[in-house]
Amino acid sequence: MIRILKSILAELTASAIVLFARFITAVRGLWLGTEPRDQQRIYYANHSSHGDFVLLWTVLPPRLRKQTRPVAGADYWLQSSFKKFIGCDVFRSVLIDRKVQHAREAPVEQMSSALDSGDSLILFPEGTRNMTDQRLLPFKSGLFHLATARPAIDLVPVWIDNLNRVLPKGEVIPLPLICTVTFGGELHLQADESKSEFLARAEAALLALSPEGVSA
Amino acid sequence: MNESRADLLTLLAGVGVVLIVATLIGQILARRQPAGSSSAVIDNLNARINAWWAMVILLGLAFLGGKAGVIILFGFCSFAALREFVTLTSTQRADHWALVAAFFMVLPLQYVLIWFDWYGMYSIFIPVYAFLLMPILAAFKGSTEQYLIRVAETQWALMISVFCISHVPALLTLNIPAYEGRQVLLIAYLVVVVQISDVLQYVWGKLIGKTKIAPSLSPSKTLEGAVGGILSATAIGTLLWWITPFTPLQSAGLSLVVTSMGFLGGLVMSAIKRDRGVKDWGHMIEGHGGFIDRLDSVLFSAPIFFHLVRYGWDVS
């Protein structure tokens, strides 16, 4: 009974969060390199705000939204029972232990098993929020290891634009500004592609979607 | 109110007939395309017509909702316009407080002042109080980089998106003898005349437009389109004198003023878009762009129209 109530509450909260995200950002999804498809995918995006996956999630068609789980840091999302409810029950996050060196379960295995159960993932390969003036931090190797473990699944680069202006670090009240979420063409790990080659290609594909393009 | 409601329904029915004709023409044009091909101009025309239906229905519902409906509708338009405007400014982290205050304090307060009909306050609230207080909030954050530009942009955003737009519902507060309870018709008059002028400028421009007026600002604006649109919309405005407190001649004069201001407003707002390197202010209204793209003419004409009518007809 409590479980049913909790899942109803989680659904309502999810709708409220989507509505709020639209009210503040009038967010628009631009599918430039691909289309929303009923197909398992790994969306990887730039990360500058706690709201990033909310925005990406909001522009996915509701049917895909239900099967898409963000990969997030356990240290942040287990801080309080409210955050835990949002992180685990509303967004069904795959929580990764970033702090512990020898985590009980290796992150790549956690993500792989989430993929094996049929869900899509939202991944922030920079590993942490980008607070610098650079457009992207160097990617951590997680994306490469995941692509090696599950090579058949599409990797879709997603550029989230303007959200860092909506909620700069340390502010609590979001500023209404228009945001866009741009989806690029699918990537796959190529045969005998090295880790650094693959990560460089993935970074370039993501940067190409930003308003300044590849060159800036 | 009953007489006013009857006039309003007549006007809405008239607009409805125009939209039905436009929809039929749009569909016939689309059907006449060779199979499998489509024209961007015709697709855009039909998207615009569909959006017009939605906008007319929303405006009609707001009118039926009376003062509250009108204030809520234009308050929301202000919010959407401010969101579009601030997105294109070069404001920084240091402006966060000032901008949050603009959205969540200045904007609602302006509409509350209009609700309570406090003319002495709502007509100077943004030009005086916000004008002086916002730079103080920005100064507290200590960043001087591009300070003047940021402060000026924030003030412009508020003036355009909140102050100007709020003069549309402010028409409800005018006290005109023998016109009590009918002020909502002034809003309908302003919006219909200004928007039909935009549409007719587009139509005349597509039909006979040759001479570009301001190619660097707005490549699609032509002299023929502007003159044809302004004059034909003025003629329609003159014919609508019966819903206003004006004589036909006065109605012609006011229509000429608001359609001219509307055209010039479109030019000014285009100049800002070109400066910022964007084609549209936003994407919320299919076929038209953003709220400011659709409201640019209204927001330039509304304060002038309000003050002319207040000076000439209001007795309070």
What tokens were used for B72? 């809520």
- Residue B76, classified by CB atoms within 10 Å of its CB into exposed (0-12), middle (13-18) or buried (19+), is middle
Q: Are the CB atoms for A113 and A130 separated by under 8 Å?
A: no
What tokens were used for A186? 């699918």
> Residue B94's pLDDT is what?
83
Sorting pLDDT into bands at 50, 70 and 90, what band is A133? Answer: confident
Interface size A-B, in CB pairs within 8 Å, comes to: 32
**Collapsing DSSP states into helix, strand and coil, what is residue A169?**
coil
Of A162, A168, A177, Cβ closest to residue B93: A168
Q: Measured between CB atoms, does B12 come within 8 Å of chain A?
A: no
Are B83 and A173 in contact (CB < 8 Å)?
Answer: no
Chain B positions in Cβ-Cβ contact with residue A173 (cut-off 8 Å) = 100, 104
DSSP code at position B243: G
Are B283 and A28 in contact (CB < 8 Å)?
Answer: yes
ipTM (interface predicted TM): 0.87
> Residue B33: how many CB atoms within 10 A of its CB?
12
State yes or no: pLDDT of B73 exceeds 90. yes
Are B86 and A171 in contact (CB < 8 Å)?
Answer: no
**Collapsing DSSP states into helix, strand and coil, what is residue A80?**
coil
Average pLDDT of chain A, as a whole number:
89
Chain A positions in Cβ-Cβ contact with residue B141 (cut-off 8 Å) = none
Place of tokens 């234009």: B74
> Residue B4's pLDDT is what?
79
Instruction: State how far the Cα of B171 lies from the Cα of B164, in Å rounded to an integer.
Output: 12
Are A26 and B80 in contact (CB < 8 Å)?
Answer: yes
Are B86 and A176 in contact (CB < 8 Å)?
Answer: yes
Average pLDDT of chain B, as a whole number:
91
The percentage of residues in chain B with a pLDDT greater than 90, rounded to a whole number, is 65
Chain B: closest CA distance from residue A175 (Å): 6
Instruction: State how far the Cα of B187 lies from the Cα of B63, in Å rounded to an integer.
Output: 9
Instruction: State how far the Cα of A58 lies from the Cα of A23, in Å rounded to an integer.
Output: 12
Q: Which pLDDT tens digit goes with each residue over B172-202?
A: 999 999 898 889 999 999 999 999 999 999 9
State yes or no: pLDDT of A115 exceeds 70. yes
Chain B: closest CA distance from residue A142 (Å): 31
Chain A positions in Cβ-Cβ contact with residue B284 (cut-off 8 Å) = 26
Are B83 and A168 in contact (CB < 8 Å)?
Answer: no
> Residue A216's pLDDT is what?
46
Q: Which pLDDT tens digit goes with each residue over B245-299?
A: 999 999 999 999 999 999 999 999 999 998 888 888 888 887 788 899 899 999 9
A12-43 as b/e: b if 16+ CB within 10 A: eebeebbeebeebbbbbbbeebeeeeeebbbb
Instruction: State how far the Cα of B164 lies from the Cα of B152, in Å rounded to an integer.
Output: 16
Of B84, B103, B282, Cβ closest to residue A175: B103
Instruction: State how far the Cα of B270 lies from the Cα of B300, in Å rounded to an integer.
Output: 13
Instruction: State how far the Cα of B142 lies from the Cα of A9, in Å rounded to an integer.
Output: 43
Of A26, A28, A168, Cβ closest to residue B83: A26
Q: Are the CB atoms for B245 and B263 separated by under 8 Å?
A: no
Instruction: State how far the Cα of A19 lies from the Cα of B200, in Å rounded to an integer.
Output: 37
Q: Which pLDDT tens digit goes with each residue over B248-260?
A: 999 999 999 999 9
* Paired sense of beta strands A41-45 and A154-161, if any: parallel
Q: Measured between CB atoms, does B285 come within 8 Å of chain A?
A: no
Instruction: State how far the Cα of A110 lies from the Cα of A95, in Å rounded to an integer.
Output: 8
Of A28, A171, A177, Cβ closest to residue B83: A177
Are A176 and B83 in contact (CB < 8 Å)?
Answer: yes
Chain A: closest CA distance from residue B131 (Å): 19
What tokens were used for A83? 């955050």
> Residue B280's pLDDT is what?
87
Are B87 and A28 in contact (CB < 8 Å)?
Answer: no
Chain B positions in Cβ-Cβ contact with residue A28 (cut-off 8 Å) = 283
Nearest CA in chain B to A24: B83
CA atoms within 13 A on the CB side of A109: 5
